[in-house]
Structure 1
Amino acid sequence: MTTSEKFVDHISSEYSTKGDYIYLGAGMLDEQVFANAPVKIPLKTMNRHGLIAGATGTGKSKTLQILAENLSQKGVPVLLMDVKGDLSGIAKASEGATFIDERHEKLGFPFSPDAAPVEMLSLSEQDGVRLRATVSEFGPVLLSRILDLNDTQSGIMAIIFKYCDDNQLPLLDLKDLKKMLQYTTEEGKEEISKEYGRISSASTGAILRKIIALEQQGAELFFGEKSFEVNDLLRKTSDGKGYVNILRLTDIQDRPKLFSTFMLSLLAEIYSTFPEKGDMDKPELVLFIDEAHLIFDEASDALLDQIESIVKLIRSKGVGLYFVTQNPADVPEEVLGQLGLKIQHALRAFTAKDRKAIKLAAENYPISEFYDTKNMLTSLGIGEAMVSALDEKGRPSPLVATMLRAPMSRMDILSDSELRQINKNSELARKYNEEIDRESAYEILNKKIEEADREEAKQQAKDQRQKVTKTSSRRKSGRSREGAIIKVLTSVTFIRGVMGILNKFLK
């Protein structure tokens, strides 16, 4: 048996699957494509998470597009984090091209253009379904980790949430939280210290500064109502296709704190909301996080621990997470070890640091009898990748260089008019784009403070009136005594005068 025959037999047997699957492409050896060595990803393992890595321009976004549109066809809803703004084309069918036909001829797989049902989502003022969450939904623990608070500050945050729960004060947005911080060390200082203990103004000041820093990254647009319900990510069309929810993040790249805040809150909400699924034939939801380093670069140790815990546990809810980044080193080892599917596009060795990164990246993949992985990573072309997956029993499949199929949808962005049309027809936009600012902690505390100020003013006025009354009474009392004395003296003088006159006449 020749090396080529051995390769084909090895790949076709290892990547065979009895259940439903996504066809990714065909195996390559010595620059030759073997159509009879198809690379298939079992649908039931797509909740085991994954990594799409590679240098800029090697085809990562198109690989993400391939996976997302195929999942949609299989009835699996998808959430895409579109940081670069180049994924909206998935809403329109491909117009085809000569190079696509040539590629699929090599693959021995027919090219069939198709579009996916799409919802456009937004965290900022960009058009789309507005995603929001309330401060209360975050809770004191998650919020403390996002703000990177120390133990003392985290304790204060817990007291604030407890006080608000006990006194029916809704914490909806950041102005509610800031007002509570002010109230704990000023107007409500005595009230809170009696029930919950003394709170340091220095600590509340430090928390307030961190909240302001988060606000400067646009968090005031995210915190509030109406809260987005994560079950709305699971919508399907009448013909059974899963919706591809594209979160537009082109204006978030310079605000990594907001991005990581949103991601952690979303994952926590999904984990707490979705029921346990056990072993499924296909995932309930798949999330693709483009430019994943934005989550990890600015994350504190506490935040990283929270992300790692959720990644480990969320697959039992039928949810798959796929991180898209330039180098596997961008993802923490504890998270990287949880990723079952790895699709590695080419890496470029321009510097000594690059060569070290490539050597390290190669060590993340199984040893192959057919490839020198380190050298292969630098020789892959656009739309080619090293693939390592899990079989239906959860065992790692062999590493295989793969020529990837072309996306069925448009490999370009939508026009402004096309985007407006999607948003105009969106049921979710009609549900979530109404701004709500109901009475919450900010308004209730302001009323409470105003009432206290009025009561204090009334008391001061009453005290002042009583003071004036007492002073007036003392003055009247003094004048009365003085009048009586004068009367007495006057009477005595008068009598003495009369008696004196009588005495004169008598003499």
Structure 2
Amino acid sequence: MDNRIFIGGGGEGYGTKQGLSLKYANRHGLIAGATGTGKTVTLQILAEGFSSAGVPVFLSDVKGDLSGLAEAGSPDGKLHEAFMKRNETIGFDDFTYDAFPVTFWDIFGEQGHPVRTTLAEMGPLLLSRLMDLSDAQEGIMNIAFRVADEEGMPLLDLKDLQSLLVWVGDNRAELSLRYGNVSPQSVGAIQRQLLVLENQGGNSLFGEPALDLMDIMRSDPDGRGRINILASDRLMNSPRLYATFLLWLLSELFETLPEVGDPEKPRLVFFFDEAHLLFDDAPKALVDKVEQVARLIRSKGVGVYFITQNPDDVPEDILGQLGNRFQHALRAFTARDRKALTRAAETYRPNPRFDTADAIRDVGTGEAVTSMLEAKGAPGIVERTLIRPPSSRLGPIGDQTRRAVIAASPVMGKYDTLMDRDSAYEMLARRADDAAREAAEAEAAEAEAQSAAESEFNAARRYSGKRVSRSGSSAREPVGFGASIGQALGNAVMKELKGTTGRRIVRGILGGLFKGR
């Protein structure tokens, strides 16, 4: 199909051939359906189609099945005969088995190239969402980021933020006057959440070298777009980390890429699997941010496709922006399920040949109710569609094949070695060392001055020839002229010591941060 990705077709009781127009592929989409109804295969054939059209793809592999995109399917496969029969039914005469250019990524660096960002790039809003902070704690997080920015201290990894929060706690009185109340309880709560984040894998996510967005927008020399697969089976054990990372990546694309209007095909297509994790218990500010990104990022040539079990998992304002729909079967066992099914059916342009709600309930595995945007971006009439078989392997590849793909990757070696350049942690450590050295010097000076005072006192006592107490008076008679000199010298020295020492102590271990560097 010219300028279209072939999705599937029909036969008796089904519609005509269905294809996704590349011109409208950046108008976003939805792949929905209950577990086991074929969402993964639909995602796989879309990724194949975009790659063949020269469009890079980014997707997360929650179950490990999508790694099969790196290896061609085989006529020896157990589903080969079923595939050939379906291709005959839907009229897919150009079907061939093929592998696709794949780049594997993994936050933990085990099943792909390490993928990292910095705390500064993540920002206080998403970081607070990731750590599930309260409004008051989020305010302190914003103060910490502001101080780091004003003082030129890069926030790259978790130890940078941990050390900065220690400083914020030590200097909370001064910061409270400038920015508002900074309570030690809130600072302590943030530190505890940082520990939880570290245990979930935050140390692997935050650091350098950070991901270069251009590395997920590569094409191969043969013109095919590279398919970037994020290994997410382990990452899904920390669902908030998973959702926040993908949202950060989407936001970075939105902030970085230039406007391109309505291109003939997308610059990148982004698949957000398990999309409900993004919206579960999300604050309104975060949902508004996702809505803004979804509404505006299409003009930058990026298409976003949400994959979830039920369309109700996606807020209505965002759902309305998803023009290309692939609805697999929804089960309707309860009253709530039936209401959800009805609402899903109402979002489609009706087809007089069948009832949409019945079709959504009745389609089998490998079938879907589809609606793609047509001329001028108008939604097409809903159709029942038999989804075409994938050309790549159905199911995960072996470890040896994965290692070979990683070794041949164009980014091999770029992200493998962790960097630890000068940042907030090192800067604050140096200031602490300087303050400790100054304190030690002040203590030594104080001891020396005290010794000098004692010497002057003893000298004064010997000069007077009388017994003089440390308070400057004789034990038995009035203080003489010599004793008065010793007392005056002692008092002068002690006054100077008190003033100097007091000023040094007030500065604190890290109190020089605002008083010059």
TM-score normalised over the length of structure 1:
0.86
> Match of 2:389, SS?
coil
C-alpha separation in 1, matches of 2:375 and 2:416: 42
Letter in 2 for 1:226: P
CA distance in 2, matches of 1:166, 1:54: 49
User: 1:347-406: CA deviations, max 9, x gaps?
Assistant: 223344333332232222222211112221222121110001111310010000011111
Instruction: Please tell me whether the aligned partners of residues 246 and 272 of structure 2 are also in contact (alpha carbons under 8 angstroms).
Output: no
Aligned partner of 1:396 among 375, 379, 392: 379
Q: 2:232 aligns with which of 249, 262, 282?
A: 249
Q: CA deviation at 1:49?
A: 0.6
Task: State the distance in 1 between where 2:120 and 2:85 align.
Answer: 55
Alignment-derived partner of residue 71 in structure 1: 50
In the alignment, what sits opposite 1:331? 314
The residue that corresponds to 1:199 in the other structure is 182
Q: Which residue identity lines up with residue 346 of structure 1 in the other structure?
A: A
Higher mean C-alpha deviation, range 277-286 or range 145-154 = 145-154
Tell me how far apart the structure 2 counterparts of residues 384 and 194 of structure 1 sit (CA, whole Å).
63
Deviates more, 1:324-333 or 1:200-209: 200-209
Q: Which residue of 1 aligns with 2:290?
A: 307
For residue 23 of structure 1, what is the aligned residue in structure 2? 6
Taking the TM superposition and a 5 Å limit, the aligned residue runs for 1:376-455 are 376-455=359-438
Residue 213 of structure 1 deviates from its aligned partner by 3.3
Which of 36, 39, 50 is the equivalent residue of 1:60?
A: 39
- 1:375 equivalent in structure 2: 358
Which secondary structure state, in structure 2, belongs to the residue aligned with residue 64 of structure 1? helix
Counterpart position of 2:475:
none
1:75 maps to a residue whose letter is G
Give the deviation of 1:479 after TM superposition: 2.5
Maintained 8 Å contact 2:106/2:112: yes
Paired residues for 1:446-465 under 5 Å? 446-465=429-448
Cα distance per residue 1:7-32 (max 9 Å; x no partner):
xxxxxxxxxx8x6111111145xx53
**C-alpha RMSD of the superposition:** 2.2
What do residues 215-235 of structure 1 show as CA deviations (whole Å, max 9, x unaligned)? 332222111111101111110
Task: Measure how far apart 1:324 and its partner are.
Answer: 1.0
Aligned length: 463
User: Are 1:122 and 2:114 matched, yes or no?
Assistant: no
> Structure 1 residues 349 and 151, CA, compared in 2 at 3 Å: closer, same or farther?
closer
Q: In 2, are the aligned partners of 1:53 and 1:325 still within 8 Å (CA)?
A: yes
CA contact (8 A) 2:129 2:244 kept: no
The one-character-per-residue Cα deviations of 1:280-310 (angstroms, maximum 9, x if unpaired) are 1000000112222222225333222221211
Q: Which of 112, 120, 144 is 1:136 aligned to?
A: 120
Of residues 154-163 and 267-276 in structure 1, the stretch that sits farther from structure 2 once superposed is: 154-163
Question: Which digits, 9 at most, give the CA deviation of each residue in 1:312-361, with x for residues without a partner?
Answer: 11111100011111111111112111100110111223344333332232
The SS at the match of 1:119 is strand
Is the contact made by 1:128 and 1:429 (CA closer than 8 Å) also made in structure 2? no
- Secondary structure in 2 matching 1:431: coil
Matches within 5 A, 1:204-283: 204-283=187-266
In the aligned structure 1, how far is the partner of 2:124 from the partner of 2:261?
Answer: 30
Q: Distance in 1 between matches of 2:109 and 2:29?
A: 31
In 2 relative to 1, CA 434–298 (structure 1 residues): closer, same or farther, beyond 3 Å? Answer: farther
Aligned-partner residue type, residue 389 of structure 1: M
Shift of residue 195, structure 1, vs aligned partner:
6.5
Is the partner of 1:385 in helix, strand or coil?
A: strand
What is the distance in 2 between the residues matched to 1:119 and 1:398? 36
Give the structure-2-normalised TM-score. Answer: 0.85
Tell me: CA distance 1:299–1:124, structure 2 relative to 1, closer, same or farther (3 Å).
farther
Q: Is the 8 A contact 1:148 1:302 kept in 2?
A: no
- Greater mean deviation of Cα atoms: 295-304 or 238-247: 295-304
Alignment match of 1:345 (pick from 309, 323, 328): 328
The CA distance in 1 between the partners of 2:135 and 2:91, in whole Å, is 60
Q: Which residue of 1 aligns with 2:500?
A: none
Q: C-alpha deviations, 1:425-463, integer Å up to 9, x for none?
A: 123231111111122111110121121012112102211
